[in-house]
Structure formats: structure tokens, C-alpha cells
Amino acid sequence: MEEDDNPFLLQGYAGAGTFCDRAGETAALREAMANQRNVTIISLRRLGKTALLRHFFANQRKFTPVFVDLYRTTDQQGMVLRIVQEAVRTLGKPTGSLLREVAQAMRSMEFSLGIDAITGMPELGVSIRPGKPQVVALDELFRYLERQRKPVVIALDEFQQITGYPERNTEALLREQVQKLRNVQFIFSGSDRRMMQAIFADGKRPFFQATEPMYLGPIPEDAYTEFIQRHFKAGRRRIDQAVVRDGLAWCRRHTYYVQYLFNRIWSTGNRQVGPADLERTKASILKERAPEYMTLQRLLSPNQAALLTAIAKEGGVKAPTAMQFVQKHRLSALSTVRQSLGVLVEKELVYQAEGAYGVTDVFLGHWLAEA
């Protein structure tokens, strides 16, 4: 990147220079893949698990990396098509010879080669032949990958999506395939902690203890401070260390919110950043998002909104159904608080980690606390 480019990325991956730390997690993934242990990465949404996968896959030489985002898939067929498409695309340029090779290996699939109307680049089309079950297509794909010269590592991002498919056998279908592969390793990652733990920690489900767990937490303060100050220095700018640490604390060191805050501070163009700049940026962010947050409040019941605000004002609550907390914030009956808490967790407005409940959206939490 050029020195004047904003180094605090909000999407995509632009190389190790714009990626902060995660050295321990990257080394753990490398060691697990080298020794044929599948891994499950669980983190809060927007804490950087996808960026970690992109970083881990970048410039790999010992294995072929296949990244599959399952977030927008709604059924088993969509999942299979996405896995096949990304796997074939990663193996080589979409040419006629490659399509003939994969078509020979995967006879239940139909492949086509077109041109992307926007980019003008070759585009791979994939579909399952009528009457062919998904299990056959997956079996053909994995048998084909097993024959590849280099090992293949497939990352299935937002893996918890499979629990919402109308087909109830998806976990069993995948587990049956995974356990018989030797040349193909898997990384399962997800941001719904409850669902991911249910998939991999429930003794009655197919993936019970089938992978090595990795829980992704916030990046250490010292590492993030050094990262931010280094980029400001490279851009011939200065930012007080105290400002960086205050910004990190305000964002709870949650990757997306840290990147967004310092992206905004960088975009001011100020050559010297002090406490006043930080406060102006924080206030601007909350003001801009106020209409969105007010709409969200109106979509909740009064009891749900009151509980969400109470949790935000506390910053974190170990026992939101404790009488002391309920009375302090003048909440409704305990049974109603329990019901409201369940709804807020289900909607992912509130999360539970390390024995405490907090507001998932860091900026929303600050806006509610200041209201």
C-alpha cells in the first residue's frame, strides 16, 4: 500500500502489512494442518476470524487453500455448489482443459465457462444434474481432491448456517465425508457461539469432538497499539499513545470497531492526532448511527429495549436476572427479564462470553449508555 492509503481496512485482505498480530493463532493453524487435525474457529461476529483465514491462506505453498463462505447459503444444494465452485476455481484457471478434467471426475455435476459481465474475466458455472443427490456430488468432489498432488485445506466460514437448512442430515453428511479423507483438511469457522458449540460439543451430534477448538479473542492491547502507531508513523503522522489506548478501550479491542474508529481518524488527514480528535470522531460515529439505533429500539418490545439499555449502561453483566440488577434498572418481573434476555441473545443483540453478558454492537452499546 502507498503511505497515504488508509491502512485500517474494513473489508478484504491486502497483505500482512495491514493485518495485526494473530501470530499465535496462525502458528496453531499451521501446526494443526501439518499434522492432519481439523480445526473449529469460534468468535464473536466481526472479531476478525475471516481475516485470520485469509491471512493464513495467503502465499501458502505446502497446501492448496479453498475458502468457502456459507453465509448466504440457505440449503444443502447451495452449500454443495459453493464448495464445488470454490474448490475448482482454486485448483487452476477456469479453462476448457480443467473443465474437461473435473467433468470427468464429477459426473453428477455440470460445468460451464462464461464471462463475467462486470470484470470481463472467465466465470465458472456449476450445477447439479437433475436427479443426482447432493451426497454423490460431494463424494465425487472429495475423491477428486484426494488425488491432488498437494494437500487441500478447505475453510468453511459461517459454518453455523447449515443448522438452518431444511435438510436435517447436513451435519451427518459432512461428517461421513470428512472422517474418511486424508489429503483434505478442514477449518470450520463461525460467529454464532451457541450454534457452533452445539454442533461440536453436543455428544449426540455427528461432529462431537471431531475437531480441535480455537476460540478467537480480542487482539492484545500492546500488539494493537504498536500496529496503529506504526501505520501512523509510516504515513508521516503522529498519534499519542494514550489516544490509541483510549480508542482501543472504547472499542473493547473488537477488531471491526477498532478498524472503523481508526479508519475514520486517519481519514481526517490530521498530521497530529490528540484526545480532542478522538472525542470528535467518537461523537460523530454515534451521531451518524443514531437513526439506525432508534429504529432498532422501536422494533424491540419495551421490556427488551429496557434490558438492552440496562446491559449497555453496565458495560457487562454477569447476572442480568439477579434481583439487584433488576431493581437498580427498574426492570419488569424476573420471568419477563429471562424471556427478554433469551430474545436478545437469539437476535444476537446480546452475547455471553467469559461469564458475562454484553451488547454485541460496540457502538450501539455506547449510544445506549449515553442516551
- Could you read off the pLDDT of 274-290 as tens digits, one per residue? 999 999 999 999 999 99
Query: For the chain, what is the mean pLDDT?
Result: 94
Lowest mean pLDDT among 30-39, 112-121, 250-259: 112-121
What single letter denotes the amino acid at residue 341?
L
Q: What is the pLDDT of residues 137-186, one digit of tens each?
A: 999 999 999 999 999 999 999 999 999 999 999 999 999 999 999 999 99
Return the CATH architecture of domain 22-215.
Answer: 3-Layer(aba) Sandwich (3.40)
Say whether pLDDT at 2 is over 70: no
Say whether pLDDT at 117 is over 80: no
Is 220:226 a contact under the CB 8 Å cutoff? no
> Which residues in the chain are classed under CATH 1.10.10.10?
300-371
- pLDDT of 112 reads 86
What single letter denotes the amino acid at residue 314?
E
- pLDDT of 54 reads 95
Written in H, E and C, the secondary structure of 242-307 is HHHHHHHHHCCCCHHHHHHHHHHHHHCCCCEECHHHHHHHHHHHHHHHHHHHHHHHHHCCHHHHHH
| Among 221, 174, 211, 253, residue whose Cα is nearest residue 28 | 211
- pLDDT of 83 reads 96
Say whether pLDDT at 325 is over 90: yes
Say whether pLDDT at 3 is over 70: no
> Which residues in the chain are classed under CATH 3.40.50.300?
22-215
- pLDDT of 64 reads 96
- pLDDT of 260 reads 98
Q: What is the pTM of this model?
A: 0.91
Q: What is the pLDDT of residues 223-245, one digit of tens each?
A: 999 999 999 999 999 999 999 99
Collect all residues with Cβ–Cβ distance below 8 Å to 45 and sequence separation of at least 6.
191, 192, 348, 360
As assigned by CATH, the class of the 300-371 domain is mainly alpha
**Among residues of the chain, what percentage have pLDDT more than 70?**
98
Is 297:371 a contact under the CB 8 Å cutoff? no
